[in-house]
Amino acid sequence: MKVGFVGLGIMGKPMCRNLIKAGHHLSVYDIVPEAVEEMARAGATAAAGAQAAAAASEITITMLPDGPDVEAAVLGPGGVLAGATPGAVIVDMSSISPLAAQKVGAACQKAGVQFLDAPVSGGEPKAVDGTLAIMVGGEKSAFDRVLPLFQSMGSSAILTGAVGAGNVTKLANQIMVACNIAAMGEALVLATKAGLDPEVVFNAVKGGLAGSAVLNAKAPMVISGNFKPGFRIRLHQKDLRNALLAAESLKVALPFTSLVQQMLVSLMNHGHGDLDHSAIVTLIEDMAQTAARKPA
């Protein structure tokens, strides 16, 4: 397929590489020229802007930090929608507010362009190995058309409902991940403070009911003190903020989500917004004056 791709960050670049590897023809754009040049060396065609990337493509994917970025890139002057032809599909794989997704979807529909909101879960490691979980909202005809691309980037792609449903599902995912990391942090800090090796505790519990993909991915990072970002704290804070806004509109109380979101805000205020979200644990460590690290 001829595919446009706008947004070549931590997630976007490996997703592009997997699409190129699958034989698709990519026209790519990012506001960072070096990222575009890197993807051009990998086999993509450098586009002059978002509009040009879309004009050369039947399907255009955006992968951007937040809703305002998506609205600007898709709906703004020189944006994706300006270059998309009637019958094309625009797929936003960013994690944004469901309301923002519906706004973009409505503008696309008016222009005769199909739209899918398709946020992902798995962070950089799963973007690299092409095993992302992709949660999709939109029409089935558009989903079926884009499915081969999703299969090149992820291990699962589920149509969850109409436009906006993909991001509601992603918010649910982000609540579970954030609260899981926080609980893991409390458990490992407690064990370490009691004189245990946190790595031994991790290995003891991971095969039981407490075991999870989050535990397996994040406990080794915490125990080794490696907080290199696969998914940044500031982005997870944004997702939980969107979850709380959605919850407020639906009159749903999310007490645990609210607490972890405030923990993320505190970490951002201390300059840790660009650390991996596993660094939620460091706030618990600071309160206990105990780091959950393997003994030297």
Instruction: Report the C-alpha gap between 181 and 257 in whole angstroms.
Output: 12
Separation in Å, CA 269 to CA 177, 222, 226, 234, 274: 21, 21, 20, 10, 11
93: helix, strand or coil: coil
Euclidean distance between CA atoms 232 and 273, whole angstroms: 7
Catalytic residue from among 170, 206, 218, 238? 170
What sections of 194-294 are H helices per DSSP? 198-205, 213-224, 233-250, 255-269, 280-288
Q: Return the number of other C-beta atoms located less than 10 Å from residue 121's C-beta.
A: 20
What is the gyration radius of the CA atoms in the chain, in angstroms? 20
Q: Where are the alpha helices (DSSP H) in the chain?
A: 12-21, 33-41, 50-55, 67-75, 80-83, 98-110, 123-129, 140-153, 165-193, 198-205, 213-224, 233-250, 255-269, 280-288
170 is catalytic: yes
Contact 75, 99 (CB under 8 A): no
- Residues forming the active site: 170
